[in-house]
Amino acid sequence: MTQAECSAEAIQRIAALCTSRWHCNYTRIKLRTDPVYAAVLREIGSTHLPLLDIGCGIGLLGLYLRGAGLDATVTGFDYDTSKIEAAKLMSQHSGFSGLQYAAGDARHELPSFSGHVVILDLLQFFTSSEQDMLLAAAASRVASGGKLIIRSGLREATWRHRVTVMGDWLAKMSAWMKAAPVCYPTREQLEHVLSQSGLCVSIQPMWGRTPFNNYLIIAER
Ligand SMILES: C[S@@+](CC[C@H](N)C(=O)[O-])C[C@H]1O[C@@H](n2cnc3c(N)ncnc32)[C@H](O)[C@@H]1O
């Protein structure tokens, strides 16, 4: 049965799958403190549609969902081949089935897919027109009854936005991210592109206890 969130024990088991100490510490802290994984679970936990995770990194979302008992197929897609390799190893060692990963650049291609689509913390690496193309391509993969779930910082004249930009630059300088931030989407842009794609959009703040200017964007078909 799907639980409301992944337990501390399940998070510990996921972190133990990591192939390096840095990934292990990162995974434990990220899954314990970042509210976005439980938010995705809340949005899709009562359905059985497959999920496409664009910019999946080392595949934490899929493992979190399995740890909470959700058994829908998850396809992770990311252009960083070292992260995709780490995700594959972790899912093999986990014994969970139905977690699959593919490497590719979301600016140029996406897997054929129909179901729920998730984009967490990726849009800032794209230009505004690349964001529009990705959003339309992601929306076209949302099945009837499915959702496109996005977490992103939005471009706003606030201190939170400035802290978000600094955080993304630190991730680049520490080599955790291959790319530096390029452009943050605006609320109006997301509402426009997603409603043009036939989805109903809602946008809520999701900064929790962090200083970041993050929002959760839910677009439903
Ligand atoms: C901040 S991380 C978020 C990771 C994951 N979504 C999570 O929340 O745990 C952003 C991810 O987007 C990936 N990424 C950046 N540009 C990309 C692109 N053009 N195509 C595919 N993935 C990309 C990075 O490699 C990285 O894994």
Of ligand 1's atoms, which has the minimum distance to the CA of residue 61?
9
Per-residue tokens: 11: 């998070």
Q: pTM of the full predicted structure? A: 0.95
pLDDT tens track for 83-100? 999 999 999 999 999 999
Mean pLDDT of the region 156-172: 93
**Ligand 1: which residue has its CA nearest to atom 16?**
125
pLDDT tens track for 94-139? 999 999 999 999 999 999 999 999 999 999 999 999 999 999 999 9
Mean pLDDT of the region 211-218: 96
Q: At what angle do helices 128-139 and 187-196 cross, to 10 degrees?
A: 40
The pLDDT of residue 179: 81
The pLDDT of residue 27: 96
Domains, the chain: 8-220 (3.40.50.150)
Residue 1 has pLDDT above 80, yes or no: no
Mean pLDDT of the region 42-52: 94
Q: What is the mean pLDDT of the chain?
A: 95
Is the Cβ atom of 23 under 6 angstroms away from ligand 1? no
Mean pLDDT of the region 175-181: 82
Query: Closest Cα to residue 56, out of 23, 22, 81?
Result: 81
**Ligand 1: which residue has its CA nearest to atom 8?**
120
**Lowest-confidence range among 19-28, 144-153, 154-163, 176-185?**
176-185
Of ligand 1's atoms, which has the minimum distance to the CA of residue 80?
25
The pLDDT of residue 182: 92
Is the Cβ atom of 121 under 6 angstroms away from ligand 1? yes
Is the Cβ atom of 26 under 6 angstroms away from ligand 1? no
Query: Closest Cα to residue 150, out of 176, 117, 114?
Result: 117
**Ligand 1: which residue has its CA nearest to atom 14?**
55
Residue 194 has pLDDT above 80, yes or no: yes
Query: Closest Cα to residue 176, out of 130, 121, 110, 129?
Result: 121
**Ligand 1: which residue has its CA nearest to atom 26?**
57
The pLDDT of residue 84: 97
Is the Cβ atom of 79 under 6 angstroms away from ligand 1? yes
